[in-house]
Amino acid sequence: MIRNPDAHATRLGAARTLVEDILIPAEARMDAEDRMPQEARAALRAHGLFGISIPEAFGGLGLTMEEEAGLMLVLGRTAPAYRAVYALNSGGTAQILLRAGSDAQKSRWLPGLARGDLIACFCLSEPEAGSDAASLRTTARREGDTWRIDGRKRWVTNAPEAGMLMVMARTGGEGARGISAFAIDPATQGVRVQPAQGKMGMRGAQVADIVFEDCRVPADALVGAEGEGLKLALAGLDKVRLHLAALSAGLMERLLDEGRRHALGRRQFGKPLADQPAVAALLADSVAEALAARCMALELARARDDGTLRPADAAAAKLFATEALGRVADRVLQVHGGEGYMTGSAVERLYRDVRLLRILDGTSEIQRMVVARGLFSG
Ligand SMILES: Cc1cc2nc3c(=O)[nH]c(=O)nc-3n(C[C@H](O)[C@H](O)[C@H](O)COP(=O)(O)OP(=O)(O)OC[C@H]3O[C@@H](n4cnc5c(N)ncnc54)[C@H](O)[C@@H]3O)c2cc1C
């Protein structure tokens, strides 16, 4: 649903300028320094991107899913590490607060998240609990007026600059029903951020483990009812998966720009690569996949807005778009030949970055399980 077509078109135009004038020029520096450049962060804040889907009442943009997908098609045309920093604020974390938080929790956290003053972290994965999130072991025990949290969360995006932690911890018995959600201030005693080892891409979006040792948080840090945590976390996944499908389509379009430019400019055998049918075919296949991902993301975003989206469809869109993105990155690197393999080329950087999207927010294998469940259950 596009609420106001003129305002939407203006926002997309401003996002295109942001991508071209600020974000793409800062990509190489962000990768080299593993830090988001200040001017990029300031611009992302000025455009309201930390609050994409946080309601306007809390200072966010309050976009519908179709508006958000349209915006991600544009913002996908630059390094996805930018998105890892700003989008988590209005992604899983804010969605849990909006769905189940008390008025006091919403007004405490959401305005700062929407402005980008606070950076949110989503703390679900653990050393022994990745795809099988329901097996997590971090515990939260009620002791008087407090909850005592103990455990370790693995590879938490943005942990080194966290301003708010949404932590999934076990309050009850085994399995999904024993897990609850907590909104925690990272300055609380007993919270320790432990830098993780380096990673192959997405440099600029930092990742670390978070250790909780005898960490006492007030009783009202619990979000929603006891035992509802994993359900709440999974409820926001359809939205995240459509967001990633649109981002992936935008990334394919960026890679195609890079491939097109190189194929037109580089000459071999007396003519541009673009005139070599085998090279052109690599790009033609990529155009088809980018277009399919774009259409899927927009169509399903509309379905989410009108309440008809099925979880299996969101999983299928994430699966298709991120896998296609991997193929497109590989083909475009091939079109660049040796230049695509050398450090410093945009294609080499994007190739490393996009690999993560087939792992995050449910690996491709997990998406296939969700899609198959949808197929066989009805
Ligand atoms: C850079 C980075 C940032 C991250 N940020 C966050 C974050 O902010 N918050 C957070 O909570 N987590 C985060 N994660 C963790 C991420 O969510 C997990 O890596 C992901 O869920 C997969 O879990 P795993 O790595 O433990 O792999 P595993 O679960 O061990 O899986 C390994 C392989 O086995 C496959 N597999 C597992 N079970 C099955 C099955 N039943 N059927 C078929 N195949 C299966 C998987 O698909 C995968 O290919 C991040 C990870 C990275 C690398």
Three-state SS letters, the chain: CCCCHHHHHHHHHHHHHHHHHHHHHHHHHHHHHCCCCHHHHHHHHHCCHHHCCCCHHHCCCCCCHHHHHHHHHHHCCCCHHHHHHHHHHHCHHHHHHHHHCCHHHHHHHHHHHHHCCCCEEEECCECCECCCHHHCCCEEEEECCEEEEEEEEEEEECHHHCCEEEEEEECCCCCHHHEEEEEECCCCCCEEEEECCCCCCCCCCCEEEEEEEEEEEEHHHEECCCCCHHHHHHHCHHHHHHHHHHHHHHHHHHHHHHHHHHHHHCEECCEEHHHCHHHHHHHHHHHHHHHHHHHHHHHHHHHHHCCCCCHHHHHHHHHHHHHHHHHHHHHHHHHHCHHHHCCCCHHHHHHHHHHHHHCCCCCHHHHHHHHHHHHHHC
Q: What band does 86 get if pLDDT is binned at 50, 70 and 90?
A: very high
Roughly how many angstroms between the first and final C-alpha of the chain, as a whole number? 27
In the chain, CATH 1.10.540.10 sits at: 5-115
**The CATH number of domain 120-225, selected from 3.40.50.1820, 3.40.50.970, 2.40.110.10, 3.40.140.10:** 2.40.110.10
How far, in Å, from the CA of 122 to the mean position of ligand 1?
A: 14
The rounded distance, in Å, linking the Cα atoms of 12 and 68 is: 10
pLDDT tens sequence across 90-112: 988 999 999 999 999 999 999 99
pLDDT tens sequence across 262-294: 999 999 999 999 999 999 999 999 999 999 999
What is the structure's pLDDT at 148? 98
What is the structure's pLDDT at 196? 84
Q: Which atom belonging to ligand 1 lies closest to the Cα atom of 157?
A: 8
What CATH number should be reported for the domain whose range is 5-115?
Answer: 1.10.540.10
How far, in Å, from the CA of 282 to the mean position of ligand 1?
A: 30
What is the structure's pLDDT at 266? 98
How far, in Å, from the CA of 190 to the mean position of ligand 1?
A: 26
Q: Residue 342's Cα: distance from chain center in Å?
A: 27
Mean pLDDT of all residues in 152-162: 96
In the chain, CATH 1.20.140.10 sits at: 233-377
Q: Is the pLDDT of residue 324 over 90?
A: yes
What is the structure's pLDDT at 242? 98
270 backbone φψ class: left, alpha, beta (φ>0; ψ -120 to 50)? left
Which of 135, 138, 130 shows the shortest CA–CA distance to 190?
138
Tokens, residue 118: 């606070």
Name the residue of 352, 360, 367 whose CB sits within 8 Å of the most ligand 1 atoms, as the mutation to test its pocket: 360
**Are the C-beta atoms of 348 and 340 separated by less than 8 Å?**
yes
pLDDT tens sequence across 40-69: 999 999 999 999 999 999 999 999 999 999
In the chain, CATH 2.40.110.10 sits at: 120-225
How far, in Å, from the CA of 257 to the mean position of ligand 1?
A: 31
What is the structure's pLDDT at 92? 86
Q: Is the pLDDT of residue 375 over 80?
A: yes
Mean residue pLDDT of the chain comes to 97
What CATH number should be reported for the domain whose range is 233-377?
Answer: 1.20.140.10
Q: Which atom belonging to ligand 1 lies closest to the Cα atom of 202?
A: 1
Q: What band does 378 get if pLDDT is binned at 50, 70 and 90?
A: low
The rounded distance, in Å, linking the Cα atoms of 90 and 357 is: 18
How far, in Å, from the CA of 184 to the mean position of ligand 1?
A: 23
Q: Is the pLDDT of residue 244 over 70?
A: yes
How far, in Å, from the CA of 125 to the mean position of ligand 1?
A: 8
pLDDT tens sequence across 123-150: 999 999 999 999 999 999 999 999 999 9
Residue located via tokens 């840090």: 221
Tell me which residues have their CB closer than 6 angstroms to ligand 1. Answer: 122-125, 130-131, 155-157, 199, 202, 207, 356, 359-360, 363, 365-366
